[in-house]
Structure 1
Amino acid sequence: MNKIITCIDGSAISEDVCHAGVWAAKKLDKTLLLLHAIEKTNCPSNQDLSGAIGLGARSALLNEMASLDEQRGKMALAYGKELLEHAHEIAISKNCANIEKTQRHSGIVEAICDLESDARFIVIGRAGEGHPEDFEALGSHIEQVIRRVHTPVLIVNRGFTEPKSFMLAYDGRETADKAVRRIIEGGLLHNMTCHLVTVKNNESDLQQKFKRTEAMLQEHGFEVKASYLEGNIFDSLSAYKEEQNVDMVVMGAFSHSKLATVFLGSNTLKMLGYTQLPLVVLR
């Protein structure tokens, strides 16, 4: 678990992702691994079309398609190398000590899963290449990544700056307690103000758990601003982060179904989809 996997593409927020990866790598004193995945195209292969065109045209067209495929592959490879080199230059300018670059011929989700065994953190843009900057829904890969990996994920939006505070949404459940332990043990969020926020729910002894969690964070050196709220969970959390000008949101992903498919809680998904702040999802 020695690397900060930082996903670089040609999107408008790719530089912000790079800045976030550098911040995490320096804060944790880990290697920054710049990752570019060359996605497979949805174009049909030559073999797919070999029986669909007339005999007279088949040979010339297939040869032309093979040539075009080869050109596209070379261009994608060169383009990715340029993106990685630019990100590398940014990291050097930010005095990042240990930097690695890698390209993978696969989807970004598969590439991340392949590299996860040596990952301490995963940094990815909220909207990928091809989406506008005001893209409200999640980038198509975000939920897949969160569902499949067991490593914390930092989701970055436009205009990333080094955060000084974070809001932790605490609901008293086991996943929330696990998230607190990860925060204490992880190091990334140390020396930042923690806005510990809970919204009244049906969890038994929630207030007592909330107080214990506040004390635990304080014992481990966190400056804690604790708030116990009532009302709609998503609306209350959204209003709080705006009022308090927090820099980052931290949430847990949950839970597991009997079919072994991970589903994110509805409020987590809403926060992922609508917050413009950097967001850490802890597993």
Structure 2
Amino acid sequence: MEKIITCIDGSVMTSAIVDAGKWAANKLAKPLCFIHTIEKTHQHGADDYTGAIGLGARSSLLEEMTKLDEQKGKLALQLGSELLESVASEARNAGIEKVESFQRHGDIVETLIELESQTRLIVIGRKGVGHDNEFKAIGSHLETLLRKASQPVLIVPEEFSAPTSFMIAYDGRESAERALQKVLDGGLLHGIDCHLVAIKNNEADLETKFDNAAAQLVERGLNVTTAFLEGNINEELVKYQIANNIDLMVMGAFGHSRLRQLFVGSNTLKMLETVDIPLVVLR
């Protein structure tokens, strides 16, 4: 069965991520699955200083450093287990019947890709804990995740509340059409006021595509407000979001080739860096 895969790491964003996961699980009537990964961090043990033995370093000190690393690993495992137990209990107390949790060693993105066949939605924080803490920061993995994940990704800022409105950033390109179709077919955003917003670009027949997109949303029963704007894409989208008090934004992931993004940047990443509301990225 498909699940709401919710990534937690013990950062200050954990509460918001858990709230977003509970909201999505209720909206989609899917099981809620919390995951916590422990990644291999840079260690200062024997592996790093083996070359120093020949310079007179004491092997007993290297052994002590190795033991400290092992203790840190055990502590991270214990803290993660307690965190998972706590959030799972919170979700059950909130009325969610099907709640799962598990912990893994390894890369968070690899773990999420392995779970794709079981995934309806990925919920993850925009940034993780700092590198001086025991839990690996997951924010640094976001671009990799967005490029690899085939399922929708809900990226959560430091605070989350159930949205009453959302905005689709529409540019008429293939990625935007796929995103639109997933909004139409899914249930996560149904029943919420929809704003369909396009910024004039070089896409052929953009206005016609825009009108067709609006008609499809209305036909599906959504309350739709449309806006066709001109100007800088990111600036105009942010202005519209603020002026209309939009609670959540929807975008297609990476509408251009990697080569073009190298020179002109990515609107997806720019919006992620700019907006302070949840962002749903769809491939």
Scaled by the length of structure 1, what TM-score is found? 0.90
Conserved 8 A contact 1:124-1:155: yes
* 1:256-267 → structure 2 map (5 Å cutoff): 257=257, 266-267=266-267
Q: What CA distance in whole angstroms lies between the structure 2 residues aligned with 1:91 and 1:282?
A: 26
Which residue of 2 is the match for residue 176 of structure 1?
A: 176
Which residue of 1 is the match for residue 129 of structure 2?
A: 129
Query: What is the RMSD computed on CA atoms of the aligned residues?
Result: 2.3
Deviations 1:4-37 (Å, cap 9, x if unpaired)? 1101112111110011011111111111110111
Q: What CA distance in whole angstroms lies between the structure 1 residues aligned with 2:245 and 2:257?
A: 35
Give the stretch that moved more between structures: 215-224 or 106-115: 106-115
Which residue of 2 is the match for residue 275 of structure 1?
A: 275
Which residue of 1 is the match for residue 214 of structure 2?
A: 214
Conserved 8 A contact 2:198-2:227: yes
Q: What CA distance in whole angstroms lies between the structure 2 residues aligned with 1:249 and 1:168?
A: 6
Which residue of 1 is the match for residue 196 of structure 2?
A: 196
Give the stretch that moved more between structures: 86-95 or 24-33: 86-95
Superposed displacement of residue 200, structure 1: 1.1
Q: What CA distance in whole angstroms lies between the structure 2 residues aligned with 1:263 and 1:2?
A: 38
The letter of the residue matching 1:74 is K
* 1:1-283 → structure 2 map (5 Å cutoff): 2-44=2-44, 46-54=46-54, 58-130=58-130, 139-255=139-255, 257=257, 266-283=266-283
Superposed displacement of residue 258, structure 1: 7.9
Cα separation, partners in 2 of 1:258 and 1:40, compared to 1, 3 Å: closer
Deviations 1:21-76 (Å, cap 9, x if unpaired)? 11111111111110111121111553443342148754422332332122111101
Cα separation, partners in 2 of 1:219 and 1:40, compared to 1, 3 Å: same
Conserved 8 A contact 2:2-2:117: no
Superposed displacement of residue 172, structure 1: 1.0
Q: What CA distance in whole angstroms lies between the structure 2 residues aligned with 1:217 and 1:141?
A: 33
The letter of the residue matching 1:165 is S
The letter of the residue matching 1:273 is E
Conserved 8 A contact 2:124-2:153: yes
